[in-house]
Amino acid sequence: MTLTGARNGGCIGGVGYEIELSKKNASAFREQVAPFMSHARRAGGPQPRRAVRTASNRRRSGEIRAWAKQQGIAVSERGRLPASVVEQYEAATSRR
């Protein structure tokens, strides 16, 4: 919780609160919560969501892997495809 004499917020018991305090009251509030804050740990922000793999993305990855194998390019059965392989695939198939 940052107390600067303006709008301040925090979360207690899973409920978010926001309060506007003057500099004087922010200082008094800071003094009151200091014993608790000294034992607290900082909470991180919201975690970014991972991109969802769609069926069309999986199908495209399979097509790229099959094309790479036909070209003699070694690619793993699973995991991320190297960008260079994807670029080669796109260059080769865009002519069609």
pLDDT of residue 8: 66
Q: Is the separation of the CB atoms in 8 and 17 below 8 Å?
A: no
CATH class of 55-93: few secondary structures
pLDDT in tens, the chain (96 residues): 555 556 667 777 778 888 888 888 888 888 898 898 888 877 766 667 777 778 888 899 999 999 999 999 999 998 889 999 999 999 999 855
If you compute the radius of gyration of the chain from its CA atoms, what whole number of angstroms results? 27
Query: pTM score, two decimals?
Result: 0.47
Which residues of the chain are in CATH 4.10.320.10 domains?
55-93
The pLDDT of residue 74:
93
SS3 assignment for the chain:
CCCCCCEEEEEECCEEEEEECCHHHHHHHHHHHHHHHCCCCCCCCCCCCCCCCCHHHHHHHHHHHHHHHHCCCCCCCCCCCCHHHHHHHHHHHCCC
